């Protein structure tokens, strides 16, 4: 901005130094220089306003970006917390499922063992009963043979 002002001042000085000394042209030149200076001042004001507006817009954009980044960080933090909670809950559920499966396996093994013992007892009892019956039948037959003789 300083360069623009200095350049306009230099143009004005150069413009004044190349004007002739006639009164009519001097007045016209003086009016032209004043008009040029007014136009330059207006242009500088417009440029300053444009720069100000641009800086305000940039500041607003930066604030919006910062706000959006903050919200994104909050959302990411919440999502991470939810993921950790979900993982904990899933691990607890899996541990409980494994525990239940182990208990069910133990109960099944106990029942299978009890059933096997009961089946063995029954088979043993049936074998003893069959042996007794076979022995009784053999003794009866032998006694009948002895009597018949």
pLDDT in tens, 59-69: 888 998 898 88
Q: DSSP state, 22?
A: -
pLDDT band at 23 (very low <50, low <70, confident <90, very high): low
CA 84 to chain centre: 11
Query: pLDDT tens for residues 71-93?
Result: 889 888 888 888 888 888 888 88
pLDDT at 20 over 60: no
End-to-end Cα distance, the chain: 151
Give the pLDDT score at 17.
67
- As a whole number of angstroms, the distance between CA 120 and CA 125 comes to 8
Question: Across the chain, what does the average pLDDT equal?
Answer: 81
What lies within 8 Å, CB to CB, of 36 at 6+ separation is 11, 12, 15
């Amino acid at each position: 901005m300083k360069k623009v002002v200095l350049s306009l001042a230099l143009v004005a000085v150069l413009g004044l130094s190349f004007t002739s000394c006639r009164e009519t042209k001097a007045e016209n030149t003086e009016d032209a220089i004043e008009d040029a200076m007014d136009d330059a001042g207006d242009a500088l004001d417009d440029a300053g306003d444009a720069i100000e507006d641009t800086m305000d817009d940039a500041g607003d954009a930066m604030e919006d970006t910062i706000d959006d980044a903050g919200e994104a960080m909050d959302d990411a933090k919440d999502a991470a917390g939810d993921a950790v909670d979900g993982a904990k809950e899933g691990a607890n559920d899996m541990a409980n499922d494994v525990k239940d499966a182990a208990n069910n396996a133990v109960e099944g093994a106990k029942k299978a063992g009890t059933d096997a013992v009961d089946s063995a007892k029954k088979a043993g009892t049936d074998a003893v009963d069959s042996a007794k019956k076979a022995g009784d039948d053999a003794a009866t037959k032998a006694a009948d043979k002895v009597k018949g003789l």
